[in-house]
Amino acid sequence: MRENANTRTRIQDVALELFTEQGYEATSLREIAERLGVTKAALYYHFKTKEDIVISMVESRIAAMDELIAWGESQPRTPETRREYVRRYAADLQHGRHHEMMRFFERNQTAMRTNPAGEKMRERMMAMLDILTDKDAPLADQLKGSLAIFAIHATWFVFRQPDVTDEQRQQAGLQVALELIGD
């Protein structure tokens, strides 16, 4: 069972790498199998389509987002709750392959626009934004809530200096996000 999970994880990692390098549409299952050093039939045993691979990668992110959304919805709508919500989201993003997933989505926006996995991610992001801002809040405040989440994500794209560490990126994103939702 564990070997099966490891194989699926290897397939996801290689597919994510190729989808980001070449683009989702330009990558075939054959290329993924070749990079892995397995037959297409062996790959097909685990995933029937490229979409199945993407959905499997997104499922763990969605589960983590759902947990955070449930926590946020159960809390009082206070400035401290919003700050803690942003802190928890930033901390959660430090685990797993999140920044690779963000690069993938950023580089494959057109293909993901109609993909069910992309739609699920958009739905969860909107639910997160609903927790950070009230629908009746001034438009500027609604925008600040959205930008707070974007600030955490943007650190993986805007800092191009090779000497910037992941920790520095994360700290900068969290600092800006907290400033944006400050009261």
Confidence at residue 1, expressed as pLDDT on a 0 to 100 scale:
53
Confidence at residue 32, expressed as pLDDT on a 0 to 100 scale:
96
**Domain contains 83:** yes
SS3 26: coil
Query: What is the number of domains present in the chain?
Result: 1
User: Percent of the chain scored above 70 by pLDDT?
Assistant: 96
**Domain contains 5:** no
Q: Which residue range(s) make up the domain with 166?
A: 54-181
List all residues 6 or more positions away from 67 whose beta carbon is below 8 Å from its beta carbon: none
What's this model's pTM, rounded to 2 decimal places?
A: 0.78
Looking at every residue in the chain, the average pLDDT score rounds to: 89
For 137-153, the pLDDT digits (tens) are 899 999 999 999 999 88
**Domain contains 119:** yes
**Domain contains 45:** no
Q: What is the dihedral sign for C-alpha 47, 114, 152, 154?
A: positive
Among 2, 13, 11, 1, smallest CA distance to 40 is for 11
**Domain contains 174:** yes
Q: Which amino acid is at 5?
A: A
**Domain contains 42:** no
Q: Scanning the structure block, which residue is given the tokens 């790498």?
A: 17
For 74-133, the pLDDT digits (tens) are 999 999 999 999 999 998 887 767 778 878 888 888 888 888 888 888 899 999 999 988
Residues 178 and 86: beta-carbon distance below 8 Å: yes
What ranges in 114-165 are assigned the alpha helix state H? 116-132, 139-158
**Domain contains 29:** no
Residues 127 and 149: beta-carbon distance below 8 Å: no
Token code pair at residue 88: 């928890």
